[in-house]
Structure 1
Amino acid sequence: MYRLALRISVVELRPKEFPRSWRLLNMETIVGSRDREENGTGNSHHLLFIPMIMQAHFAPAIRLAEKLSARGLKIIIVTISKHAESLNKIYTPEGLLKLGLSVEVVEDPKIDPKLPGAWSPLNVAKCMEESCRPLQQRLLGKKKAGSPYPTCMLADKFFTWSKEYAEQLDIPRYAYISYAAVTTRLMQVYHEFEDDLKQIPDGPGWQRGWYEIFHGKPGLEFLSSASDLPGVSRSSGWFDFVIEVGRTICTADGVVMNSFSELESKAVEAIRNGSSGSRRQKATRVFPIGPISDLRSFRNESYVSNTDDSHAECMEWLEKQPTKSVLYVCLGSQVVLEKEQIGHFARALDASQQTFLWVLSKRRGNFSILDDVLPEGFLTRTCGRGLVVTGWVGQLQVLAHPSVVGFVSHCGWQSVLESMTFGVPIIGWPHGAEQHFNCRYVQQVLKAGIGIRDVDNRALIVDQLEFENAFKLFSREKLGKALAFNAASFARKAAAAVSRGGSSNEAIDELIESIKQPREIHEN
C-alpha cells in the first residue's frame, strides 16, 4: 500500500522574492485544513506534477492540472520563479487555491545561454535535476519522519531522473508526454532496439542505418526517408539521452499524452503493444487525454519573459476579415529567423496577394523594429490585407477564429494539435527537433497539410520561389478542399474525444482511477 499524503508545505518563499499573496499558498495550513473538513481524516490524493518549463510544454501542463484537479486530485506544480509569478498574475493565488492547485518554486536552472542548444530539453532536463534536488531531500525527510508527502508523481518524459525520485519516495510515477504519440513511439523504439542501434557507428551513414531499424516498426510506417528522423547522433549526446527517455517512458506506471486516439490510433496501439522481436519492457498503460487545450478554459497565457501582448490587436483585426481568408503564420517561441530568411518569406507573401497574420517574434533580440528586417515598403504594400505583430498572441483563439484558412507552422506538436483541434490545415515549415517528423505525419497520415519543401531538404535558407510554390499548391481548389476537409474531420473527432463518453474523457477518468488505486511499482 502506498502512503497517503495528508498535507504538504509546497511554497517556501522568502518574503522579498514574491508578493505576500503568494505566501498564502501553503498546503500545510490551507489545503490540508480544507482536506480535513471535506474528508474528516485529512487523507487526500496529492499529485506532484513536474512539467518541462518551456512555453509549449508548460502552458498545456497547467491546463492538464486544472482538468485533474476538477476530478478531485490536489495538484502540486513544481516550477521556476518566473512561471510562478505568471501563474500568480493569470490565476491569482486565491484562484489557484479554488482550483486545488498549489506551487512549489525551485531554483532557476543554471544554463549558460552561450552554449549551443542551451535551452534544448537535454540541457534543461539536466539542470532541472539540480534545481529539484532540495525538493527531493525535503520530501525524503518527510518520508523518513513519517510526515505526509505526495501520493503520486507525474513528471515530464525528459526528466529521466524522476524515476529515481519516485522509487526513493515509494510512490507511483507517470510520464507526461507533451509531444505526439508518434514521437513517444519513436523514443520507445530507441529503447526497444538500443542494442542494434549502438552497433551502428557515427559517420556519414549513421542516420541511414538507424532508418532501416525504425522503418516499418508498428506506429512508424509513415516514415519515408532517413531525414524524417530527428538528428540525435551519438556525438551530440542526444542518442544516449533519447534511449534513457524511452526507458523512462516504458518503466513508468502509465504514459499520459496530450493527444487523442483518433488522431494517432496506430501509434497509441503500438505504444501499448511494443515491437515484436524486442525483449525490452513495453509501456504498461497509455492515457491519450488530449487535446488538453480548449476555448472553454482559454486564457491568454504567456510564460515567456519580456514579451509584449499583441493578442487583442490580432483578434480585433481578424474580426474585420472575411471567413476563411487569412493565412496565420507563427513559428513558435523558439525559432529565430535571420534577416535574409525573413526577406524571402515576406517577398513571397507580398507576391501571393494572400491575406495574412504574421507573428514575427523579436523576443531573442534579432531585431528592434520591423523595418530592420522586412523588405523596404513591405508594410506599406501589404497594408489592409496583412498584419505583422512582434508580441505574444494566444494561438488557440486565433486558430479558432472563422477567418483563418490555413496555418504556416514549424510543426511543433502543440501547434499541430491545436490546428487539428480547430480544423485548420497546415503549411509545414519545420526547423529542427522532431518538427520534420511531425510534418511528415501531417502530410502522409493525416493528409491535412503540405510542406513548404520536401522534408528531405534541410538547407538552411528557404528561398522566395519555394514559398510561392507552397502558397499556390495550398490554394489549388481540389487540394485545398481536400486538406480543409481532412482537417475539419479531425476537429470533429477532437470535440467528440473530450465530450462525455469520448475516448479522451474516458482516458482521464481511467487515469484518475489509476492514481487513486495504485498498483505495485514495476521492479526494474
Structure 2
Amino acid sequence: MADHSAQIHFVLVPLMSPGHLIPMVDIAKLLAHHNVVVSIVSTPLNTPRIKSAVDFAVKSGLKIRLLELEFPAVQAGLPAGCENMDSLPSRDAIKNYFEAAAMLQEPFEKLFQDLKPRPRCIISGKNLAWTVETARKFKVPRLFFDGMGCFSFACTQSLHNSRIHETVSRFEPFTVPNLHHEIKLTRAQLPEALNPGSEDLIDVRNKIVAAESISDGIIVNTFEELEQDYIQEFKQTKGTRVWCIGPVSACNKSETEKITRGNPNPPTKNKHPCLEWLDSQEPKSVVYACLGSICGLSATQLIEVGLGLESSNSPFLWVIRGGEKSKQLEKWIQEEKFEERTNGRGFIIRGWSPQLLILSHPSTGAFLTHCGWNSTLEGICAGKPIITCPLFAEQFINERLIVDVLGSGVSVGVKAAVAWGIEEKSGLVILREDVKNAVEKAMENSQEAEKRREKAVEIAEMAKKATAEEGSSYLSVKALIRDVIQETSF
C-alpha cells in the first residue's frame, strides 16, 4: 500500500453483540495491516472484552484505538450495565436495546467531528441504521458489515420472492427455488423474519432493512472460493459494491492473538486449563461442543446435549455459559455428578473459551456448533468436520451449506428453530440420541467420514489461500481501502 494511506482513518461502529464485536476487531486489524488508522467505538462494559486484543495489535505496530461512549442503558429502559446483547434480561428488552444503540448517535457525532486524522469512512454493523444519517452529515461513505454469508442471503431472498414456504405445513420439506444446489428446508426451521408470528420485532427489522438499502457498500465475512455462485448473486441483488474479506478470524495468527480474541480476562502466562487437557488426548479424538454466545437454550435442552456427548463415548470439550443463565444446568451437573462420571473423558468450560486455539489443536477431531456464521467460518478455517446443531436466525440455512454444499458436516437433525428469548416455549428440539448418533457418525473410521475430513481440510486450504498475500480476500481489503481513498480525496 502506498505511504499516503498512513493518514487514512476508518471509524468502526460495531453492534454490541459478541458475534459482531469480535469480527469487527478482526476487520480493524485487517485494515490496520494495510497502514490505515482505525478507531473502534466501544462502551465501558464492552471495552474489557476487546481491550487485550487491541492492546496486543497496537504493540505489534498497528494503528488501532478505542473510542468509548457511555451506553444509555437506563435511559432506554434497560437494567444498568446492560450494554451487550448477550446480557439482555429478556426478549422484550431487544427493542429497548436498539433504542439505546440509536441514542449513541449524538455523542458519537460530537466525538467524530474532532477526530484526527479526519475520518474517511464509517463501517457500522448493518443493524445500526442511524449511522447512515451520520455519514451523510459528515460527507463520508458509510459501509456496513454484514455478519452473515451470501448463501444464507440467497436462500432467504429466494423465499421472500417465491413465498413457497407459505404454501406448506410447518414440518413439510420444500425445495428452495432458483439456487445452484438442491436445498430442502421446512417452515419450522426458517428465520423469524420469514415466519409470521413474531410480530414483536417488526419495527426493529424494518429500520434495519431500510438502512441497508442506502448503503455505500457492504463488507462480508466470506471468501470468493467458498460460496462463489452465491456471492455473484448477492452482488447483483444488492446493486452496490461488495467486498468479501473473510474469514476475518484468520488474521489471528499467533497464540497470543488467539487467546486474547474476545477474552474479557486478559490471560496470564499460564495456559488455559482446557488446552492442557487437550494436550493429553489422542490426535483428532475430541469433539468440541459450543452452541454460541447467545445460546439461551433451556437447561432441559442443554442436558440433552450433555447426555448425548456422554453416551457417544468420544472425549469432549463442552462450553456452557457461566453465571445466572446456567444455574439450572449447574444444579443438574452437581446432582448427577456429571463431571465425575465423565472425568478424564469430558471437560466443561464455563463462560469464555479460547475457541480458535481449541479448533486448531491437533487433538480436536470435530466441532459441534449452532452454525452461527462466525463459528461456521472458524470451524472451516481449522479444517475440522462440523456437527451441525442449529438453533435460530439463519443457522439452519448455514447447516445446509455445510452438509449439502460443502460436504464437510453431519447434522444432529434439529427439526425446529427456537425463538431467541422464548426458547423454553419451543419444547424439546435437541434429543440426546440424535447428538450421540451425529457425533459417532462424524468421528467414526468409515469411508464417508474420511471423505468429510478430507473435504474439511481442502476447504481450510482454500481459506488460507484467500487470506494470504495476493489471495482473493487480501486483494478485496486493498480494493476497499483504494475505493474509499478515491471517493474521499480531501
Deviation (angstroms), 1:442? 1.6
Q: Pairwise mapping of residues 84-483 of structure 1 onto structure 2 (< 5 A)?
A: 84-92=47-55, 95=58, 98-110=61-73, 112=78, 116-117=90-91, 120=94, 124-139=97-112, 149-185=118-154, 205=166, 215-217=176-178, 222=183, 224-232=185-193, 233=196, 235-239=198-202, 241-274=204-237, 282-294=238-250, 295-297=252-254, 298-301=257-260, 303=262, 312-367=272-327, 370=330, 372-373=332-333, 376-456=336-416, 460-461=427-428, 462-476=430-444, 477-483=446-452
Q: Deviations over 1:228-261 (max 9, x none)?
A: 4201247535445445434433432221111111
| Contact 1:83 1:303 survives alignment (8 Å) | no
Provide closer, same or farther for how the CA distance between residues 504 and 124 of structure 1 changes in structure 2, counting only shifts above 3 A.
farther
| Contact 1:412 1:435 survives alignment (8 Å) | yes
Which one scores higher on RCO, CA 8 angstroms, separation ≥ 6? 2
User: What is the alpha-carbon root mean square deviation over aligned residues?
Assistant: 3.6
Q: Deviations over 1:87-126 (max 9, x none)?
A: 4444449937942112221121426267632575x65444
Greater Cα shift, 499-508 or 212-221 = 212-221
How far apart in 2 are the matches of 1:84 and 1:366? 24
Provide closer, same or farther for how the CA distance between residues 509 and 432 of structure 1 changes in structure 2, counting only shifts above 3 A.
same
Provide closer, same or farther for how the CA distance between residues 484 and 270 of structure 1 changes in structure 2, counting only shifts above 3 A.
same
Structure 2 runs not aligned, ≥5 long = 80-87, 419-425
Q: Deviations over 1:357-389 (max 9, x none)?
A: 111222344328945436623322321122112
Indicate whether 1:55 and 2:56 are aligned: no
Amino acid at match of 2:221: N
| Contact 1:325 1:405 survives alignment (8 Å) | yes
Greater Cα shift, 397-406 or 353-362 = 353-362
Match for residue 40 of structure 2? 77
| Contact 1:259 1:288 survives alignment (8 Å) | yes
Greater Cα shift, 85-94 or 506-515 = 85-94
Secondary structure in 1 matching 2:326: coil
Structure 1 runs not aligned, ≥5 long = 1-37, 275-281
Q: Deviations over 1:472-491 (max 9, x none)?
A: 33344133222212211110
Secondary structure in 1 matching 2:122: strand
How far apart in 2 are the matches of 1:473 and 1:448? 12
How far apart in 2 are the matches of 1:213 and 1:353? 35
Q: Deviations over 1:402-452 (max 9, x none)?
A: 111111111111110000011111111122222222222222212211221
One of 10, 28, 42 as aligned partner of 1:65: 28
Provide closer, same or farther for how the CA distance between residues 43 and 407 of structure 1 changes in structure 2, counting only shifts above 3 A.
closer
Deviation (angstroms), 1:455? 4.1
Match for residue 10 of structure 1? none
Deviation (angstroms), 1:342? 3.2
Identity %: 25
Aligned length: 460
| Contact 2:12 2:40 survives alignment (8 Å) | yes
| Contact 1:109 1:130 survives alignment (8 Å) | yes
Greater Cα shift, 215-224 or 396-405 = 215-224
| Contact 1:419 1:426 survives alignment (8 Å) | yes
Q: Of the two, which has the highest radius of gyration? A: 1
Secondary structure in 2 matching 1:153: strand
